[in-house]
Amino acid sequence: LPHLTYQDDVLHIDGVSAQELRAQYGTPLYVYSQNALLDNYHAYVSAFSALKDVQVCYAVKANSNLAVLSALAKAGSGFDIVSVGELARVIKAGGDATKTVYSGVGKTAQDIKTALDAGIGCFNVEAVSELDLINDVAAALNKKARIALRINPDVDAKTHPYISTGMKDNKFGIAHDEAIAAYQHASTLAHLEIVGIDCHIGSQLTEVQPFVDALNKLIELIDTLANLGITLKHVDLGGGLGVRYIDENPASVREFADALLPKLQDLQARYGLGLHLEPGRNIAANAGVLLTSVDVLKPTAHKNFAIVDASMSELLRPALYESVMAIVPAKLDNNAPTKAWDVVGSVCESSDFLGKERLLSVAVGDLLAVTGAGAYGFSMASNYNSRQRPAEVMTANGTHRQIRARETLEDLWRGESV
Ligand code: LLP
């Protein structure tokens, strides 16, 4: 993680000391490196530069802070959204709705109208009935809606079952066997413009083979569609490329691109197809850390608990997926004796842990950092146990600025009445 360094044994993010950030903003605190975000975005652009018409559509759900979206929009990124709330964020941050694709299984007529009014780039359609609904809404607005069908290619993404989305059992997309009939139906609807084909098979994939398998499934369909006279403008391979949290060895973006490029170049040569990608985690995860302070130490005969001021309310991934995320000290002391600690929050749930059996040397008041927390961190945070959601800070080239204020007590009951 090039933006994370120890200088004089103190953790720095983009050259800014973690201790200084705690002194200024308090903890728990999310810190994102703008440099890392942009480097990760540009890695996609350059890895696929052999292809024309590539649109990276950053998956907003990974980290939807306005400053994150704004930095990516300025760099030229498009967006993948799954709600009108995410669309509103994209627009508020200065993003381009025409470079935005709208995925999601439960779009309502109102959602579709909002997206059409905003000039959405493309609907990634997840059910045959959605085609009719989009057509009806577009007809009422006297517009044509651009659509791609999200295909469920039935490939095993070999990831955690909760974040696997491209198998028969999953609720996502249109079954491969039903795809051709769905396209033929779409081609009869006057207010639809068929522009693409899409899939997203899961998240935190470490191997490239499932992506290649999924692309092959799409190519079969693209060829069949071409024979039927249904032509497309782009293929969308979704997101899903994983990151290293602790000891995973995910394919790099370059390896991912190299595995797919020959087939994509062939599609471009034969049909003029462009490419859409929807990476979320790969752009945001390693750009962020969650800083947390040790409040209480509870060594017991059986286990040692380090109780910190972050919890499953701020970072749900360990509790929800048993995901293992690295926890590092803000101040290195290589001579200090270490012990195995369960790093836990103070929420009233036994699943409230950030890490188990971590070898650390900790004292009350110490500052720790959970790395890889830039994706699905704050965006999955809740107010459970009436905890105030934390502040967020962006660093850039040695500078830092707050991009979201810590919630106040009043924020907790906004909209409620006695
Ligand atoms: N496109 C679609 C249609 C998606 O559903 C997702 C993520 C993405 C793109 C971005 O996937 P990524 O590149 O980030 O893997 N909360 C879970 C991850 C859930 C992902 C859901 N869909 C976690 O923290 O691991």
Q: Which residues contact 146 (CB under 8 A, 6 or more apart)?
A: 120, 121, 122, 123, 193, 195, 196
pLDDT at 246: 96
Helix, strand or coil for residue 181?
A: helix
**Cβ atoms of 374 and 342 closer than 8 Å:** no
Residue 280 CA, ligand 1 centroid: distance in Å: 6
**Closest C-alpha among 62, 61, 45 to residue 53:** 45
How would you classify residue 5: left for phi > 0, otherwise alpha for psi between -120 and 50, otherwise beta? beta
Nearest CA to ligand 1 atom 23: 376
| Range 4-32+285-412 classified under CATH 2.40.40.20 | no
Residue 276 CA, ligand 1 centroid: distance in Å: 15
199 is catalytic: no
Q: What is the pLDDT along the chain (418 residues), one digit of tens a residue?
A: 779 999 999 999 999 999 999 999 999 999 999 999 999 999 999 999 999 999 999 999 999 999 999 999 999 999 999 999 999 999 999 999 999 999 999 999 999 999 999 999 999 999 999 999 999 999 999 999 999 999 999 887 777 766 677 677 778 889 999 999 999 999 999 999 999 999 999 999 999 999 999 999 999 999 999 999 999 999 999 999 999 999 999 999 999 999 999 999 999 999 999 999 999 999 999 999 999 999 999 999 999 999 999 999 999 999 999 999 999 999 999 899 999 999 999 999 999 999 999 999 999 999 999 999 999 999 999 999 999 999 999 999 999 999 999 999 999 999 999 9
The response to whether 281 counts as a known ligand-binding position is yes
Indicate the fold that domain 104-277 takes in CATH. TIM Barrel (3.20.20)
pLDDT at 249: 97
Q: What are the backbone dihedrals phi and psi of residue 118, each rounded to the nearest 5 degrees, phi first?
A: -80, -15
pLDDT at 332: 95
Name residues contacting ligand 1 (CB within 6 A).
59, 61-62, 80, 103, 163, 200, 203-204, 238-240, 278-282, 317, 321, 376
DSSP H helical ranges for 251-344: 253-271, 281-284, 317-321
The response to whether 2 counts as a known ligand-binding position is no
Residue 133 CA, ligand 1 centroid: distance in Å: 25
Q: What is the pTM of this model?
A: 0.97
Nearest CA to ligand 1 atom 19: 163
Helices and strands (H, E) in the chain, number of each type: 12, 21
- The full set of domain ranges for the chain reads 4-32+285-412, 104-277
pLDDT at 90: 98
pLDDT at 220: 97
For the chain, the first-to-last Cα distance in angstroms comes to 48
pLDDT at 334: 86
Task: Give the C-alpha separation, 199 to 355, whole Å.
Answer: 33
pLDDT at 169: 74
| Cis? peptide before 210, omega within 30° of 0 | no
pLDDT at 217: 96
Interface ipTM:
0.99
Burial profile 145-173: b = 16 or more Cβ within 10 angstroms, e = fewer: bbbbbbbbbbbebebeeebbbbbeebebb
pLDDT at 148: 98
